[in-house]
Structure 1
Amino acid sequence: MKLQMIIVAVVAALPYTGASLRAETPAEWTGFTEAHCVGCHSGESPEGGFSIDRLDVDLAGEETARRWIRVHDRVAAGEMPPADEPRPDSAESAAFTAALAKELVAAESRRRDVVLRRLNRHEYQNTVRDLFQIQITVNGLPDDASTDGFDTVGEGLAVSAEAMAAYLEAADQVLDAVFGGGAPPERIRHETNLLEQVDWRGRPQLDKQIGKMFRRTDDGLVIFQSGYCPTNLVNFARLRAPAGTYRGTMRVRAVQSDKPVTLRIYGGDTIVNRSERHLVGYYDVSPGQWTTIEFTDRLVEDGGTFQPKCYGTRDTRKDADTWPEPGIEIGDIVIEGPLDEWPPPGRAQLLGDLDLETAGRDDAREILQRLLPRAFRRPIEPTEADAYLQLFSSAVADGRTFESALRVSLKAVLCSPDFLFLNEPGTSQISPHALAARLSYFLWSTMPDDELTDLADDGALRQGDVLVQQVERMLASPRASAFIKNFAGQWLDLREINFTEPDANLYPEFDELLRLSMVEETERFFDEILDNDLSLVNFVDSQFSFLNGRLASHYGIEGVEGQAFRKVQLPPDSPRGGLLTQASVLKVTANGTYTSPVLRGAWILENILGQPTPPPPDNVGSIEPDIRGATTIGEQLAKHRDIESCAACHRQIDPPGFALECFDPIGGYRDAYRTMSPDARRPNRKQAPFTYAWVRYRIGLPVDATAVMPDGQTIHHVDDFKRILAANPDQLARNLAGKLMTYALGRKIGFADRRSVEDIVGQTRRQDYGFRSLIHAIVQHPTFQEP
């Protein structure tokens, strides 16, 4: 039965391939298209490369429907027929668009199947954490496909045989964490000093580097290294800790500096830099007086340790005793842990005070009946636990212990479709418990908590005032950080921040701290607008942002020092403000070497305005950058737009992209392009970034960021473009409502949803376009409770 449910789920996720919805063009369309469309959009060379006489009328196919939606929208907007052609009266156009809309809605309704949505890997991780009260990093789960920009859409979350094998392995990892080992891990309190470092033979490790890379003091060592660091430094007197959570303290002070020096700490296997190596954090170390840095970090595998390094200092490898530049003196170090509870809280929650030596079938039944409603996120039928209890009995009959047999049953629970899928039964409304789960996975990316479940049990969750209270409670919870990470991370492509590595010759100032700071700025900015119900207009034009010293320096904003983030009012002459001028967005819309107005323009239309452009014709090549720096991208695109089939789309795409051309691939402001051409001039001191790396690039052609929007508005500066976007808050709300609904409902938002989106936009408009108000409007709308 369970296998059958999996097969049903997989089949439901397959694309619709049914029969034609229409055998011929509806009569309501014929007169209008023949009178006003076919004349230009037909033949061998149709206007704009769009041939309506060859356009299929079978709306079962999504691509065909998309093309007819394009026809509908351009006629409804009055863009077609063009002004220089005979135009129908408004009643004729309205009749045509109404008839077409009716068919598009009907076709979409037939095409749309209710697809069981599988938990994506982030949701799975969070759900087992909360179900069993454990801290675990589940390894081996496959990456999830993205559909319409999000990995929460059921259509892209089918289950393959490989994925089921991964879930079987994941279940074992989860149960290992729940039951724990046979004995608690040894608790470590490791007190050391870098002066005391010895190798496995007990010989001093750092003596050979004293006076070269390190300076000995009465209290420890001074380190200067920001880049290269010897592996001997990381062992903390051969600390090789078991997996778990650790607390560390380190006495430090900056030397030879009148301002703080930055220390960074890494954890995991820092010696061979295996995959578990990770950043613990960056810390400001004040000069003069000793201070104590404290950190808490989880080592996910046995044998981990910690490694300190400077940041932003110049390395020395031979004369540390006389080296005059800033460094950090490190004194006593204490590492203690694992701090995790023993026995694991999940074990106590699951088993209570049960005596495993005398426990039997009735105890297993009680455990399963207590666990299944939480695991399946709904009440269970009286006999629903029987199948899992039978697995327990069979395992006991094979000679297994109570605990081992129970693990068999629990593994089946974790691989059940009732756990792995969000089942949302109902005809006009989903069940109250499915509503609780939909709300919880929307805002927390995890299972409902007890309060949501209790409200679903008594039916109160459907009440409007209760939904308002729950949304407010959930957004105030620390768990709402998952909404910022997962929604903003996909809406703005922040997850792709590591997808490209900037060319070190062209952008030597790019480093790890800048990359981390880019994402931190955007997430804090997003959270500020959400937390205070600020207008959505702030997403495109704001007077503030969140900066630390590293990012402020990158932006050329003075008065911000140290690595702590804070809210900063932007200077009046700053080009920053809004998402589009944040370095994170500017980096993910470039490829690391050069920028493309086409890529950035298409990104803005899709992600900010909700006006995606169709793919380019197959016979049109891409624009290759001129690596010699002899021509600008603007000159190349001007030739590209001469191709008739390209011109229509590029009139929409290019202006937004050119508005951001004054920002380079890592989000720095520029007046001219960087190039490696030996014929170009070298940068002067004011033009060169702060970096200890050798500046090899040269200054190329000047940047021209001017553009003309399709409606004739001219952009001279990025501020002009921000004002144009801010002047249309309805479109900003319309786009973001669609993105949020896709993410929350787990399905594509199509033509048939337009009325719902407009209702939500209207409600948000009455609340001054507040972002928090938009989320409330979505949750309160009937669509949120529909299957």
Structure 2
Amino acid sequence: MIGNTILQFLRATGSRIATLIACVLLLQTSLLLSQDNLPKDIPDSIATFIDSTCVSCHQGAEPEGGLAFDQLGFNLANEETARRWILAYDRVLAGEMPPQQETRPDRKAVSQCLETLASAIRVAESQRNDVVLRRLNRDEYQNTVRDLFMVDVQIHGLPEDSSTDGFDTVGEGLAVSAEAMTAYLQAADQVLDAVLGSPVAPVRILHETNLLDQVDWQGNPQLESQIGKMFRRTADGLVIFQSGYCPTNLVNFARLRAPAGTYRGTLRVRAVQSDKPVTLRIYGGDTIVNRRERHLVGYYDVPPGEWTTIEFTDRLVEPGGTFQPKCYGTRDTRKEADTWPEPGIEIGDIVIEGPIEEWPPAARGRLLGDLNEETATTLDARRILERVLPRAFRRPVLPTESELYLDLFTRARSQERSFLSALRISLKAILCSPEFLFFHETGENSLDQHALATRLSYFLWSSMPDQELTDLANAGTLKTPEILRAQVERLLTSPKAKKFNSNFTGQWLGLREINFTEPDANLYPEFDELLRISMVRETEMFFQEILQHNLSLVNFVDSKFTFLNGRLASHYGITGVEGQAFRKVSLPADGPRGGLLTQASVLKVTANGTYTSPVLRGVWVLQNIIGQPTPPPPDNVGSIEPDIRGATTLREQLAKHRSLDSCATCHRTIDPPGFALECFDPIGGFRTEYRTMAAEGRRPEIGQAPFTYAWVRYRIGQPVDATALMHDGRSIESIQDLRAIIASDPELISRTLTKKLLTYAVGRRILFSDRPAVEEIVQQTRKQNYGFRSLVHSIVQSTMFQQQ
């Protein structure tokens, strides 16, 4: 900074006296900031380079970019110190530092400095990188007990998993507390209850009724009074028009108060007063007072004219649950149903049956076989445990290990417990053991066959290996490249691979946060539940299409297609798509949509319910697509609060923010993609103007929001400026330009996604020393035209995936 000031002084004066003074000042400055004033632990080659190239800007109380080499030190065992040195390494390697307008350093000095720094970072990481045991996360636990016993059980009470580097599969964030162990004891009981079943058969319901019968049978004055107002009586049932409120007695599906369990339901329905399908939605659980569990069963298209049958299967988690039908996207009436001219749904016969779970459970038979519990012996218990243990531990089990669990059984029997009660103690101990709860990743340098089978299975299925993977591991052939490739293909085509889609996209793209904020109903009255569900479904189907057909990773940022249903297509302003079914849709060549950055799910999770932030969206793009994570802002820099009344835009406020030297370095990279995405509002709608709740201003042309029919109260604010200038000088005039700029570097996209997938798959942070392995995977993927499926294969075949 001092050097820059002197140079400015020279240019301004041009006099010999000024030049002489400046030379003296430069000499004094160079002495003041000499290598002797840098921390002593910095290696000589690095210190020399910094002294000659960097300290004029990066020193003192207000250094450029917040990086002061005279204060940083070289304790690379400290993660924050290491992060800063890695940042400096990357900036110099990319040629961004020193800045282009400054004198370029000698290439040999640059190379020597970077080589020394890289070597020091790798050594520090090898000393700091202790092996961390990786635990099954909640979802993996749920899937594992399902596949271990082949039983459908919903586990409740396990604590939330921590996220590290964006994923809940990283061992570092999966510690086990005393509270968690108590939860695992309770979870084991839930599993064994589902496997062994209740002592007596549950009461089953076969409820056949009609809403019309319910009205007549009950003689309920409150409900009877609504006939002709909210509902229309017909010869076959009732016509409902309500998207919102429904009276209590109707939602019961004829006084159904069901015990917990899974139910199958059918409804005879048809749309009335409509030439196209009307949407029916069904809720389950406590649909009356909403004091307990309540959930969506589904949305269904009901065609007009002929009667059709809607079928659903749903699990009621708590006893006393009911089901509730509602229209969707229709206008309510509360006083003139008999003459109401708008669309509705006629509901006829209703059948609810369940619980439909087998009793005794099939899992019980698979566990116990045909043994007689009254005459079963210790030998029978041994056989059961020896069959369960290798699958539970996901590896061969030593005789001494099985003896430990058999000893628990024999002790329990000696206390006069029944055979089944004693066996349950042993099984519960297995489900709470470290060998079950943690990954057993052994081998000298690379994983052994069973550990590799486990890693592969949890990568693509979020569950334990099946019998085919286990057999290959037992035979010692799984690591054969051809066999491993065939297994990846098999796992990816299995229905279980849906977990890879939902779990990876849910964390990489932040889709799990889709419910974290609720959009302001005054500003965005068109937002509703179906739109939110449709947002996530689009992204998951888009991800699956690219994976299934091995399409280029470039599609993630610039595609010519997406997947839409009628609700989402309407939100995007795309015509010709109706109904609840999703389908592949070609996007207009001149339209704003294409790729993840323009999908409503991503746009919603990168905003809050009221406004968008170019900073938040810009950081998201850098971290998740471009792979350039940004450092945290300085402690003394406050956040920017938008003017919700619309007097100023965030762009205007950020212009002042960027004038601060401590902010400008990062914001020149962060802001451009964020500004380009300002053409999308917090719920992913395309916009050319902001919305505001100001008292004055132009009102929109529509009086009620589509689908929700809520009154529109917002006003039109200032125009949106979505133009930007990238830090390298490239201009962004529209969202299409941003997509094209990022898509022009498929290697960058590939590198970012490789790191994300590796973090998710191997369960640890990706370190500086992993970069050569990452680059090897990227280059292999480049040879396969950056195909997404090819990338998954390259990761599984990599040394990094197959190492501890």
TM-score for the superposition, normalised by structure 1: 0.96
Q: 1:476 aligns with which of 469, 473, 493?
A: 493
Specify whether residues 188 and 689 from structure 1 end up closer, same or farther in structure 2 by C-alpha distance, changes over 3 A only. Answer: closer
Match of 1:254 in 2: 271
Q: Name the CA distance, whole Å, in 2 between partners of 1:775 and 1:687.
A: 47
Is residue 2:88 matched to residue 1:88?
no
Q: 2:523 aligns with which of 501, 506, 510?
A: 506
Select between 396-405 and 604-613 the one with higher mean Cα deviation: 396-405
Report the alpha carbon displacement of residue 271 of structure 1 after superposing the two structures with TM: 1.7
Q: Name the CA distance, whole Å, in 2 between partners of 1:277 and 1:596.
A: 33
Specify whether residues 414 and 200 from structure 1 end up closer, same or farther in structure 2 by C-alpha distance, changes over 3 A only. Answer: farther
Specify whether residues 471 and 658 from structure 1 end up closer, same or farther in structure 2 by C-alpha distance, changes over 3 A only. Answer: same
Is residue 2:337 matched to residue 1:301?
no
Match of 2:463 in 1: 446
Report the alpha carbon displacement of residue 303 of structure 1 after superposing the two structures with TM: 2.2
Residue segments in structure 1 that go unaligned for 5+ positions in a row: 1-21
Code of the residue aligned with 1:595 in structure 2: it is T
8 Å CA contact 2:279, 2:299 repeated in 1: yes
Report the alpha carbon displacement of residue 189 of structure 1 after superposing the two structures with TM: 2.1
Report the alpha carbon displacement of residue 44 of structure 1 after superposing the two structures with TM: 2.4
8 Å CA contact 2:669, 2:727 repeated in 1: yes
Partner SS for 1:99:
helix
Is residue 2:749 matched to residue 1:749?
no
Q: Deviations over 1:299-329 (max 9, x none)?
A: 2232222111000011111211111111000
Q: Name the CA distance, whole Å, in 1 between partners of 2:708 and 2:356.
A: 40
The equivalences for 1:189-338 within 5 A come to 189-197=206-214, 206-338=223-355
Partner SS for 1:648:
helix
Root-mean-square deviation (Å): 1.5
Match of 1:635 in 2: 652
Select between 512-521 and 328-337 the one with higher mean Cα deviation: 328-337
Report the alpha carbon displacement of residue 342 of structure 1 after superposing the two structures with TM: 2.2
Select between 198-207 and 74-83 the one with higher mean Cα deviation: 198-207
Is residue 2:186 matched to residue 1:169?
yes
Is residue 2:174 matched to residue 1:157?
yes
Is residue 2:164 matched to residue 1:180?
no
Q: Name the CA distance, whole Å, in 2 between partners of 1:274 and 1:516.
A: 23
Q: Deviations over 1:420-466 (max 9, x none)?
A: 00120122111110100000000000000000000000111010001
Q: Name the CA distance, whole Å, in 2 between partners of 1:517 and 1:388.
A: 48
Is residue 2:770 matched to residue 1:761?
no
8 Å CA contact 2:703, 2:712 repeated in 1: no
Code of the residue aligned with 1:290 in structure 2: it is W
Is residue 2:608 matched to residue 1:605?
no
Q: Name the CA distance, whole Å, in 1 between partners of 2:145 and 2:292.
A: 23
Match of 2:403 in 1: 386
Q: Name the CA distance, whole Å, in 1 between partners of 2:581 and 2:447.
A: 45
Q: Name the CA distance, whole Å, in 1 between partners of 2:552 and 2:140.
A: 29
Code of the residue aligned with 1:580 in structure 2: it is L
Match of 1:98 in 2: 115
8 Å CA contact 2:284, 2:323 repeated in 1: yes
Q: Name the CA distance, whole Å, in 1 between partners of 2:365 and 2:752.
A: 47
Report the alpha carbon displacement of residue 247 of structure 1 after superposing the two structures with TM: 1.8
The equivalences for 1:619-630 within 5 A come to 619-630=636-647
8 Å CA contact 1:200, 1:238 repeated in 2: no
Specify whether residues 212 and 564 from structure 1 end up closer, same or farther in structure 2 by C-alpha distance, changes over 3 A only. Answer: same
Report the alpha carbon displacement of residue 686 of structure 1 after superposing the two structures with TM: 10
Match of 1:739 in 2: 756
Q: Name the CA distance, whole Å, in 2 between partners of 1:201 and 1:416.
A: 55
Q: Name the CA distance, whole Å, in 2 between partners of 1:503 and 1:720.
A: 30
Code of the residue aligned with 2:460 in structure 1: it is L
Match of 2:796 in 1: 779
Match of 1:670 in 2: 687
Specify whether residues 275 and 774 from structure 1 end up closer, same or farther in structure 2 by C-alpha distance, changes over 3 A only. Answer: farther
Specify whether residues 690 and 282 from structure 1 end up closer, same or farther in structure 2 by C-alpha distance, changes over 3 A only. Answer: closer
Is residue 2:147 matched to residue 1:130?
yes
Match of 2:746 in 1: 729
Report the alpha carbon displacement of residue 341 of structure 1 after superposing the two structures with TM: 2.1
Q: Name the CA distance, whole Å, in 2 between partners of 1:108 and 1:138.
A: 38
Q: Name the CA distance, whole Å, in 2 between partners of 1:145 and 1:381.
A: 33
Match of 1:11 in 2: none
The equivalences for 1:24-63 within 5 A come to 24-63=41-80
8 Å CA contact 1:197, 1:205 repeated in 2: no
Code of the residue aligned with 1:705 in structure 2: it is A
Code of the residue aligned with 1:520 in structure 2: it is R
Code of the residue aligned with 1:118 in structure 2: it is R
Report the alpha carbon displacement of residue 347 of structure 1 after superposing the two structures with TM: 0.8
Code of the residue aligned with 1:714 in structure 2: it is S
Q: Deviations over 1:237-271 (max 9, x none)?
A: 22222222222111111111111110001112212
Match of 2:544 in 1: 527
Q: Name the CA distance, whole Å, in 2 between partners of 1:206 and 1:686.
A: 32
Report the alpha carbon displacement of residue 393 of structure 1 after superposing the two structures with TM: 1.7
Report the alpha carbon displacement of residue 203 of structure 1 after superposing the two structures with TM: 5.5
Q: Deviations over 1:271-294 (max 9, x none)?
A: 222443111111111111111111
8 Å CA contact 2:546, 2:552 repeated in 1: yes
Specify whether residues 452 and 312 from structure 1 end up closer, same or farther in structure 2 by C-alpha distance, changes over 3 A only. Answer: same
Report the alpha carbon displacement of residue 110 of structure 1 after superposing the two structures with TM: 1.1
Partner SS for 1:332:
strand
Q: Name the CA distance, whole Å, in 1 between partners of 2:220 and 2:61.
A: 83
8 Å CA contact 1:444, 1:480 repeated in 2: yes
8 Å CA contact 1:25, 1:57 repeated in 2: yes
Report the alpha carbon displacement of residue 39 of structure 1 after superposing the two structures with TM: 1.9
Is residue 2:661 matched to residue 1:644?
yes
Q: Name the CA distance, whole Å, in 1 between partners of 2:98 and 2:435.
A: 52
Q: Deviations over 1:477-515 (max 9, x none)?
A: 000000001001100000000000000000000000000
Q: 1:141 aligns with which of 117, 142, 158?
A: 158
Code of the residue aligned with 1:61 in structure 2: it is N
Paired residues, number: 766
8 Å CA contact 1:198, 1:205 repeated in 2: no
8 Å CA contact 2:526, 2:705 repeated in 1: no
Partner SS for 2:70:
coil
Select between 552-561 and 197-206 the one with higher mean Cα deviation: 197-206
Match of 1:119 in 2: 136
Select between 36-45 and 673-682 the one with higher mean Cα deviation: 36-45
Q: Name the CA distance, whole Å, in 1 between partners of 2:696 and 2:594.
A: 36
Q: Deviations over 1:96-147 (max 9, x none)?
A: 1111111111111111111110000000000000101111110000000000
Match of 1:464 in 2: 481
Is residue 2:732 matched to residue 1:699?
no
8 Å CA contact 1:250, 1:330 repeated in 2: yes
Report the alpha carbon displacement of residue 29 of structure 1 after superposing the two structures with TM: 1.3
Larger radius of gyration between Structure 1 and Structure 2: 2
Q: 1:353 aligns with which of 370, 376, 381?
A: 370
Match of 1:490 in 2: 507
Match of 2:634 in 1: 617
TM-score for the superposition, normalised by structure 2: 0.94
Report the alpha carbon displacement of residue 49 of structure 1 after superposing the two structures with TM: 2.4
Code of the residue aligned with 1:414 in structure 2: it is L
Partner SS for 1:134:
coil
Match of 1:589 in 2: 606
Code of the residue aligned with 1:280 in structure 2: it is V
- The percent of aligned pairs where both chains have the same amino acid is 72
Q: 2:90 aligns with which of 60, 67, 73?
A: 73
Report the alpha carbon displacement of residue 691 of structure 1 after superposing the two structures with TM: 4.1
